[in-house]
Structure 1
Amino acid sequence: MVRQLLPVSALLLGSALLLFAGGMNSLILPIRGAQEGFSASALGLLGTGWALGYVAGCFYTPRLVGKVGHVRAFSVMSGIAAVAVLLSLLLLTPWTWIPLRAMSGFCFAGAAMIVESWLSERAEPSTRGRIFGLYTMVNLGASTAGQLVLTMGDTTGFMFFVLPAIFYCLALMPTAMSSKTVPKPLVSVRLDLMALWRNSPVAVIGVLCVGVSNSAFGTLSAVYADGIGLALTTVALFASLPVLAGAVSQIPIGWLSDRLDRRAVLIGVAVLALAVDTIFIVLSPETRMLNLVLASLFGAAIYAMYPIIIAHANDHAAADQAIQVSGGLLMLYGLGSILGPLLAGFGMETLGGTGLFMTSAGAHVLLILFSGLRILLRAPVAEADKSSFVPAPAGRATTPETAALASAESDEVDEDEEETPSPDAG
């Protein structure tokens, strides 16, 4: 395995540096914004700006790479991300931070797509599945480490704006110094709502709801934790532990979804998330340990939903359409991610901290009701027709290149098997 890792080690290092910087950047902004007196709705708009930029990056990065190449495009993305975080330090107002956050989202999506396409090209066919798993774990560890670094210094100063900028610049070095040939053109994204709806209504409604819930929590969880008086270390854990729990929970939940009706598993996970929503709304817990336990349970539920939905949609898709379906659902997830922080920020400003969980509770109720209705209307997919469950990076939207890289191992396993789409859409 070590021999297979050597060709992609530089790319994994570049991705780790990128995610390390992104982890710091994503947490310092809501914490510092709250310290500067920004309203909850303004802080929510930071998440909306990020989602807008991320979706735009998934759309336009393939065109940019086609014009200037992978190395130059990646360098531009990393450089602009560094400039954006430094400008956030110089311009401490929410109305400058929102477009700067959109710039970061655009650059982050573009850089991730380039790294992932490069990994897919460099990795040998027999090890791509393991490479994807390692890539996911490296990113998860780097992002969490970046968030926890904030506990080691003063968040009212400049250090946690300068450090991410430094690491964004370091992230471009492995690709810039690479002497290998550049990979094939990137996967283009096309959003066809009617085709997605015909393929799986549950996937369309579900991914929108999950986008609302996950983006709201990802953007404003630190604001909520800070607002109820938790210490900075606990705030960082409140934001990072759910992502770790979501990564771990995908193993047993994915196993279940491969053996049961994925819609039933999705409902069960959504019920767990709704139960935690209700506890936060009704009890408003204040103790450190209870908040961390509840946040971990919440992350274990919400960050496992997206890969279930993608797997369910791919169960109904033709074998050669899996990446297009995943890419289209990514765009819908992005639309939900644009709306979620906006609704949650307004809810927190009018109702207090519980407004965050009231927003996600509404999304989870809709998801449960609609999925239950579809179970009554359509039979489940036969187990023989199911695609493999592929874990997704918890706490971060995927890119079309993630789907291409993640599907490589299952493509190799099934290359000699004839696959036909199920006649019934879920």
Structure 2
Amino acid sequence: MVGNGLQGTLLSLRAHAEGFPVFATGLVMSAYYLGFLIGCILVPKLIASVGHIRVFAGFASLASSTVLFHGIFVDPYTWGIVRIISGFSFVGLFVVSESWLNSIAPNKLRGQIFSAYLFVVHGGLFAGQFFINLVPVEQIELFIVVSVVISISIIPITLANRPTPGFEEPEHMPFKNLFSQSPLPLLGVFTSGLAGATILTMGPIYAQKSGMENSQIALFMGAYIMGATLLPLLIGWLSDRVDRRLAILAVASTSCLIVALIIGLPFSYLIGLIFVLGGMVTSLYSVCIAFMNDRIKASQMTSVSASLILLNGIGCCIGPLSAGLLIDHFDKDAMFAMLFLTFFMTAVFGVYRAFTGRPVNIEKQGDFVFVPARSSQMVIQINDSE
């Protein structure tokens, strides 16, 4: 995750330094999520065929190699192809790690293991931001750092002395069935994906166009990731005590207010707001997962989560692409204007569903579980088994 966190910020800044059109940068960054979506479909079949260790070693090697191509071939077309491969590779690493955790975790320790996993994921993303200060982004050294960090991850899993777990590929539930259950969480996970991917990939460009130095950009992105790590714990606790439709409405409305305030603020205030926005975006995804979980059988959760992740991934693909197009045609603030409109539509639909949807008794709601949007459907299996 250190390598993944550094890679995203590095590519955005390097693309800007090389004079790529912002739309081309958005297209390149969206390509990662296209690969991620393809991987969500194909990787489970591959694990079932050849096993966890071979898949992890193969995809870690592939991810490590593709990073270097960014530094060698500085071209948006090449980068787009390589980013698809990178997204495909990383989802392979996520699915292997999460399905292995799911198989070995005792029921009593499942929550603790899952929490530790989430903090490792976000801690790695956070730490990766600050490597950006080591050398100028125009040099190849940072790409080498990313490659080395990813390569090191192969060592513990290939030397593990535990038997590899079995693997069952989850079945998928059509969107039509999900929509009939409740449409609000579908819009919520799409919005979360669009907003999260936009900020993580195009945020560095926004920060650079705002006049920030690399050290400030690292702090800007780090604040977003830290908010995404810490605030969902509080928001989740609150969502367990109210109607989750109101929780989704509150998160979307707060996000709407934040992105409206961000434009034109000085750096010191911006850091605080982007910290809160990180918590809102990540919480929206987790609350929507909990919302859907309250309305379906436990046995359906894995298949439902696969469909929700697919919808989230579609939002991830659209977000950076749209932001790049808007920044190219208007200015940097158009990115947050797009996010404002997206959160506003989610909030309006939340108001509508609060009055027309079928309520769930608060006492019968399941416990909130923090689910990172970048993970695979296996994370939901870990929680669903508690």
| TM-score class normalised by the smaller sequence | over 0.9
Other-structure match for 2:367:
388
Deviation at 1:279, TM superposition (A): 1.8
Letter in 2 for 1:85: V
Other-structure match for 1:368:
347
Per-residue CA deviation, residues 274-305 of structure 1 (Å, 9 max, x unaligned), is: 11211234xx22x3212212211221211211
Letter in 2 for 1:161: F
Kept after mapping to 2: 8 A contact 1:62/1:187: yes
Other-structure match for 2:167:
185
TM-score, normalized by length of structure 1? Answer: 0.88
Distance 1:362 1:193, change over 3 A: same
CA distance in 2, matches of 1:140, 1:207: 19
CA distance in 2, matches of 1:280, 1:250: 21
Per-residue CA deviation, residues 48-69 of structure 1 (Å, 9 max, x unaligned), is: 1011111111111111112222
Other-structure match for 1:136:
118
CA distance in 2, matches of 1:398, 1:172: 19
SS of the residue corresponding to residue 316 of structure 1 reads: coil
RMSD: 1.4
Whether 2:307 is the aligned partner of 1:328: answer: yes
Kept after mapping to 1: 8 A contact 2:2/2:126: yes
SS of the residue corresponding to residue 367 of structure 1 reads: helix
Per-residue CA deviation, residues 125-172 of structure 1 (Å, 9 max, x unaligned), is: 211110010111112112211111112322221111001111111111
CA distance in 2, matches of 1:172, 1:305: 33
Whether 2:235 is the aligned partner of 1:253: answer: yes
Kept after mapping to 2: 8 A contact 1:238/1:292: yes
CA distance in 1, matches of 2:58, 2:346: 39
Kept after mapping to 2: 8 A contact 1:246/1:299: yes
CA distance in 2, matches of 1:397, 1:200: 23
TM-score, normalized by length of structure 2? Answer: 0.97
Per-residue CA deviation, residues 35-93 of structure 1 (Å, 9 max, x unaligned), is: 11111111111231011111111111111112222111111110110111100111101
Other-structure match for 1:408:
385
CA distance in 2, matches of 1:47, 1:20: 18
Distance 1:104 1:24, change over 3 A: same
Q: What is the correspondence of 1:300-339 to structure 2 with a 5 Å cutoff?
A: 300-339=279-318
CA distance in 2, matches of 1:207, 1:146: 25
Deviation at 1:384, TM superposition (A): 3.0
Letter in 1 for 2:284: M
Whether 2:149 is the aligned partner of 1:159: answer: no
Deviation at 1:179, TM superposition (A): 2.2
SS of the residue corresponding to residue 385 of structure 2 reads: helix
CA distance in 2, matches of 1:116, 1:369: 35
Other-structure match for 1:423:
none
Percent identical residues: 27
CA distance in 2, matches of 1:387, 1:135: 21
Per-residue CA deviation, residues 207-248 of structure 1 (Å, 9 max, x unaligned), is: 222222221111100110011110111101111211111221
Per-residue CA deviation, residues 357-383 of structure 1 (Å, 9 max, x unaligned), is: 011111101101111111111242112
Q: What is the correspondence of 1:4-403 to structure 2 with a 5 Å cutoff?
A: 19-188=1-170, 190-281=172-263, 284-285=264-265, 287-393=266-372, 396-403=373-380
Consecutive unaligned residues of structure 2, counting only runs of 5 or more, are none
Aligned length: 386
Deviation at 1:112, TM superposition (A): 0.7
Letter in 2 for 1:268: A
Letter in 2 for 1:214: G
Kept after mapping to 2: 8 A contact 1:59/1:189: no
Deviation at 1:191, TM superposition (A): 4.7
Other-structure match for 1:13:
none
Kept after mapping to 2: 8 A contact 1:189/1:400: no
Letter in 2 for 1:290: Y
CA distance in 1, matches of 2:40, 2:25: 24
Distance 1:186 1:43, change over 3 A: farther
Deviation at 1:407, TM superposition (A): 2.5
Letter in 2 for 1:263: R
Kept after mapping to 2: 8 A contact 1:210/1:336: yes
CA distance in 2, matches of 1:139, 1:209: 21
